[in-house]
Amino acid sequence: GESVGLHLPTLSVQEGDNSIINCAYSNSASDYFIWYKQESGKGPQFIIDIRSNMDKRQGQRVTVLLNKTVKHLSLQIAATQPGDSAVYFCAEKSTGNQFYFGTGTSLTVIP
Amino acid sequence: DSGVTQTPKHLITATGQRVTLRCSPRSGDLSVYWYQQSLDQGLQFLIQYYNGEERAKGNILERFSAQQFPDLHSELNLSSLELGDSALYFCASSVGLMKVETQYFGPGTRLLVL
């Protein structure tokens, strides 16, 4: 089966600093990736996606980087705010329509 | 708000019982996915339906079943419940079957089996 893992289960950053959340995936055939944010008591919320034919994609305050050589995905959050505190999941899709999710990284923003 | 709705929000039941979780996808979405999220676990894919038909199966137990109705809402049936079935159950929907398609998640149903 698929294996999507996260390097750090928890991350604490100062408000205003940049955050980097990492994710490793095992299937080199995966060609679509999504980062989700999950706040306590809520469902996962789409943040940003990237296709395998891209190395970088930027959104509002977020950037996703994809390194296919080492099968690594990262999410960068600029000027982290208290509202960014949540669990972040990366998800990969290879064959079929199902996503495989990592166990998540808990981001805590320190005011 | 993702546009995906799930009911009930909370459910408490006893071992051996049967429950039904309901999901309404976003308007226009034909695919519905069910996921289970246990403590310390990531999201585990259970099953997918597209336009009323089963399309993919993941780690779904035989005690669990699902269906998607003509109006595209979906139900997940969990029977002979065990303590270990206590978890958050999420429904997600997407437009169709395209490879590059975002899945939008509902708020989840929290199931507690006592």
Q: What is the pLDDT of residue A4?
A: 55
Cross-chain CB nearest to A98 (options B4, B45, B105): B45
CB B35 within 8 A of CB B44: yes
Name the pairing type of β-strands B10-13 and B5-7: unpaired
Q: What is the pLDDT of residue B99?
A: 74
Q: What is the pLDDT of residue A3?
A: 46
Distance from CA of A10 to the nearest CA of B (A): 13
Instruction: Please give the distance of CA B84 from its chain centroid, rounded to a whole number.
Output: 17
Contact B42 A96 (CB under 8 A): no
Q: In this complex, is the C-beta atom of B7 within 8 Å of any C-beta atom belonging to chain A?
A: no
Q: What is the pLDDT of residue A6?
A: 40
Q: What is the mean pLDDT of residues A20-25?
A: 92
Q: In this complex, is the C-beta atom of A97 within 8 Å of any C-beta atom belonging to chain B?
A: yes
Q: What is the pLDDT of residue B40?
A: 61
Q: What is the pLDDT of residue B29?
A: 95
Cross-chain CB nearest to B42 (options A34, A42, A89): A89
Contacts of A100 in chain B (CB under 8 A): 45
CB B87 within 8 A of CB B38: yes
Query: What is chain A's mean pLDDT, rounded?
Result: 89
User: What whole-number distance in Å separates Cα of residue B63 and Cα of residue B58?
Assistant: 14
Q: Which of B83, B95, B108 is nearest to B14 (CA)?
A: B83
Q: What is the pLDDT of residue B42?
A: 74
Query: What's the pLDDT tens digit per position in A11-20?
Result: 999 999 999 9
Distance from CA of A5 to the nearest CA of B (A): 10
How many CB contacts within 8 angstroms connect chain A with chain B? 61
Cross-chain CB nearest to B58 (options A89, A98, A104): A98
Q: What is the pLDDT of residue B53?
A: 95
Q: In this complex, is the C-beta atom of B40 within 8 Å of any C-beta atom belonging to chain A?
A: yes
pLDDT tens track, chain B, 114 positions: 889 999 999 999 999 999 999 999 999 999 999 999 987 667 899 999 999 999 999 889 999 999 999 999 999 999 999 999 999 999 999 988 777 788 999 999 999 999
**In which band, very low, low, confident or very high, does the pLDDT at A108 lie, cut at 50, 70 and 90?**
very high
Q: Which of A28, A10, A11 is nearest to A19 (CA)?
A: A11
Cross-chain CB nearest to A96 (options B41, B44, B56): B56
Between A26-35, A48-57, A62-71, the lowest mean confidence (pLDDT) is in: A26-35
Q: What is the pLDDT of residue B41?
A: 66
